[in-house]
């Protein structure tokens, strides 16, 4: 799992993991939910839910967790309607094919991420 996340952070492939492909297909078909925590975090950072949903179309996988116990998930770099970066953690419940779930979302802290918000800065 860490090797796959590291490959994605390093720009490996197209930035579209299999998990992100599945999430994208579900969201575009309208088969998604936003968790209570997701709603709280969106509000905390002033991100409109529609911006997080619309941003999936151009999302880039930053970290992919296909074997996560709660189900496959992916941290995606997206942008709001003003072009500001958003990190969105999307998941698919374990043992199920649907729906896509927006688990959490936040504006990445520039002190913790590289200039493109694609790689964590390690102290």
What single DSSP character describes residue 56? Answer: G
| Residues 6+ positions from 26 with CB-CB distance below 8 Å | 32, 92, 98, 99, 100
Q: What is the pLDDT of residues 62-90, one digit of tens each?
A: 999 999 999 999 999 999 999 999 999 99
pLDDT given for residue 14 in this prediction: 57
Domain ranges for the chain, please list them: 2-106
Question: Alpha-carbon distance 8 to 5, whole Å?
Answer: 5
Place of tokens 């694609």: 118
**pTM, 2 dp:** 0.86
pLDDT given for residue 122 in this prediction: 84
In this prediction, residue 10 has a pLDDT band, given cuts at 50, 70 and 90, of: very low
Which two tokens mark 100?
């896509």
């Amino acid at each position: 799992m860490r090797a796959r996340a590291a490959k994605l952070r390093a720009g490996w492939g197209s930035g579209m993991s299999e998990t992100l492909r599945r999430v994208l297909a579900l969201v575009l078909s309208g088969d998604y939910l936003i968790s209570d925590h997701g709603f709280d975090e969106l509000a905390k950072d002033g991100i409109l839910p529609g911006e997080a949903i619309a941003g999936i179309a151009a999302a880039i996988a930053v970290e992919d967790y296909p074997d996560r116990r709660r189900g496959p998930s992916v941290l995606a770099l997206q942008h709001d309607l003003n072009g500001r970066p958003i990190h969105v953690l999307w998941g698919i419940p374990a043992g199920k094919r649907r729906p896509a779930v927006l688990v959490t979302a936040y504006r990445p802290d520039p002190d913790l991420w590289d200039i493109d918000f694609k790689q964590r800065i390690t102290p």
